[in-house]
Amino acid sequence: MKHLVGKEIKQKVAFMGDKVEVKKLTVTQVLEVQKLVEENQKEGSEKSMLTMLKSVLRMAVVGAEELSDEDFDTFPLGELNALSEKVLSLSGLGDGASKGN
């Protein structure tokens, strides 16, 4: 297994009628997402939810780390939510994770 340390697993997923490449989150990244979910639940604002969404996508979607907040704001929210759910599902978190369950 040692030779697999640091290996990224990627999968193409549908986004806005096209395909984007998504990396499965590492254990460290999953823990970071869980921390973001907890912080979002405490604050409970729409702004904190959007910040969490953007953070997850920047971690997992190839090329998304280069997008500014303004770039993200040009996408439909429903499409970003659907992509985030796919990221979480691929990483073993599923629907309940984004809701803090």
At 45-97, the pLDDT tens digits run 788 889 999 999 999 999 999 999 999 999 999 999 999 999 999 888 765 44
DSSP string, 46-67: HHHHHHHHHHHHHHHBTTGGG-
Question: If you ran DSSP here, which 8-state letter would residue 26 be given?
Answer: P
> C-alpha dihedral over 41, 44, 48, 52, to 10 degrees?
30
Give the model confidence (pLDDT) of 21-32 as tens digits: 999 999 999 999
pTM of the complete model: 0.81
User: Across-strand partners of 19?
Assistant: 14
